[in-house]
């Protein structure tokens, strides 16, 4: 009888791709693609190291937080135009993980590298030695990444029970979700609030940078949605006060209230 190795673990991961690489390949812009990959791989490797003594706020139900210190183990892998960044699922790890995903996105925009990704969670095998990566989180993140029309990072439905870890790290938004192929069943109406991080850590006008990046008419809608998201983040920075995010009664009611709130903004 075959003995199976026990390699599964519960992880939280972010998978993202560089947009427009197929078109750049057709135009024989391999050096440009290589430069993108090199820059991104360096960013991922830089952040994909264990953070010893990381200070992480642990949110309380009343909106306050305690501070914890510890080791946040982070891992990364990349192949072709796909980058994966993951950690073992734990409240402390997930909070820091969200923060790092937002920072990676901001750095990509600074370098004018267009990326789009999805964050998911669940049981997986992430064997870095043999470079074998298997599991539902990878499947969901790969599908969720393709189901978005913008530059940004959204959450897959497997992440829903972890959104309460830090309300400052994400924000409700769903204009980026494609309406075909039931992507709404894969991607939740929430995104990493990289815009909040940009406003607090950078002085450059990100909208000007995005307009400079918007050179391909096939992706103009993607950039327009990204700019809309930045404005949305700024206008509704205290969105959690307008929903029941602080004390959600259940997942279903929380998602219902968030969708009702989002729909009301477009009326």
Q: What is the pLDDT of residues 174-225, one digit of tens each?
A: 999 998 878 989 999 999 999 999 999 999 999 999 999 998 888 999 999 9
Measure CA 237 to chain center: 18
Helix 91-110 × helix 194-201 angle, to 10°: 70
pLDDT at residue 155 in the model: 95
Q: Which residues of the chain have pLDDT under 70?
A: 1-6, 25, 44-45, 47-72, 91-92, 161-165, 244-249
Strands 82-88 and 75-79: antiparallel
Q: Give residue-wise pLDDT tens across range 38-58.
A: 777 777 667 655 554 445 555
Do residues 74 and 82 lie in contact, with contact meaning Cβ atoms separated by under 8 Å? no
Q: Given the structure tokens 């992440």, which residue do they identify?
A: 159
Strands 187-192 and 152-156: antiparallel
Do residues 124 and 136 lie in contact, with contact meaning Cβ atoms separated by under 8 Å? yes
pLDDT at residue 5 in the model: 59
**Domains of the chain, start order:** 13-265 (3.30.70.1230)
pLDDT at residue 63 in the model: 52
Do residues 121 and 220 lie in contact, with contact meaning Cβ atoms separated by under 8 Å? no
Nearest CA-CA partner of 187 in 140, 151, 219 = 140
């Amino acid at each position: 009888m075959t003995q199976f190795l026990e390699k599964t673990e519960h992880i939280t991961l972010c998978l993202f791709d560089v947009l427009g690489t197929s078109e750049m390949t057709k135009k024989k812009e391999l050096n440009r693609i290589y430069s993108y990959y090199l820059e991104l791989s360096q960013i991922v490797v830089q952040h994909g190291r264990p953070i010893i003594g990381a200070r992480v706020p642990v949110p309380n139900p009343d909106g306050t937080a305690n501070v914890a210190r510890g080791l946040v183990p982070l891992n990364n892998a990349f192949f072709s135009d796909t980058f994966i960044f993951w950690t073992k699922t734990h409240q402390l790890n997930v909070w820091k993980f969200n923060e790092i995903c937002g920072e990676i996105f901001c750095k990509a925009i600074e370098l004018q590298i267009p990326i789009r990704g999805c964050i998911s969670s669940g049981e997986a095998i992430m064997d870095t030695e043999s470079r074998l990566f298997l599991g539902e989180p990878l499947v969901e993140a790969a599908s969720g990444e393709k189901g978005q029309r913008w530059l940004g990072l959204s959450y897959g439905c497997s992440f829903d029970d972890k959104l309460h870890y830090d309300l400052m790290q994400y924000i409700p938004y769903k204009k980026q979700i494609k309406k075909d192929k039931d992507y709404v069943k894969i991607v939740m109406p929430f995104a990493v609030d990289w815009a909040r991080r940009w406003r607090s850590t950078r002085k450059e006008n990100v909208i000007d940078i995005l307009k400079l990046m918007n050179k391909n008419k096939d992706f103009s809608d993607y950039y327009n949605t990204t700019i809309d998201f930045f404005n949305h983040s700024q206008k509704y920075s205290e969105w959690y006060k307008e929903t029941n995010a602080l004390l959600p009664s259940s997942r279903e009611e929380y998602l219902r209230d968030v969708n009702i709130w989002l729909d009301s903004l477009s009326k």
